[in-house]
Amino acid sequence: MIITLDTNILYQALNSRNGASSYILQLVRAGHFQIALSNSTFCEYEDVLTRPTSLKAFLLTKEDVTKFLRYIAFIGEKFDPYFLFRPNLKDEADNMFVELAVVSHSRYLVTSNIKDYQNSNLILDNFQLITPANFIKQWRNTNG
């Protein structure tokens, strides 16, 4: 199964090892599913996670975060969205995650900002929009 992760999931995973976002990355590392990755989403991850304010929040060095990003680049299933799918989201930057979810045939787009994807022209018939906690709950119900 392939899933798409909003940047906030990686941010939360680096910020706390105890939350659902961190658990999702543990499941990815264990090979339970793959994460979709595109150039634009990776650049977004890199931009947000290496900001001085992010590094301060994580209590990590830029080198630590760069190693983490290299790992994400290594394990991520690469896709090249060749079209622009614009569902008129409140945050223009979120459109790239919808594009990636569609082109990768992701089963889920995992985000903590569900509200950012609502009230748009987005019809969710290709993937399910889900919070990290609900994703883990569904995964546990399905996989024991």
Mean pLDDT of 111-131: 79
Q: Report H helices in 50-94.
A: 52-58, 62-75
Q: Would you say 104 and 79 are in contact if contact means Cβ atoms under 8 Å apart?
A: yes
**CA 99 to the chain's CA centroid:** 12
**Domains annotated on the chain, with CATH:** 2-143 (3.40.50.1010)
Q: pLDDT > 70: what percent of the chain?
A: 89
Strand order in 77-78's β-sheet? Answer: 77-78, 34-37, 2-5, 108-110, 128-130
Rounded Cα–Cα distance for residues 123 and 77 (Å): 24
Report yes or no on whether pTM surpasses 0.75. Answer: yes
Mean pLDDT of 88-94: 72
Higher-confidence position of 122 and 48: 48
Q: Would you say 141 and 25 are in contact if contact means Cβ atoms under 8 Å apart?
A: no
- 83 pLDDT higher than 90: no
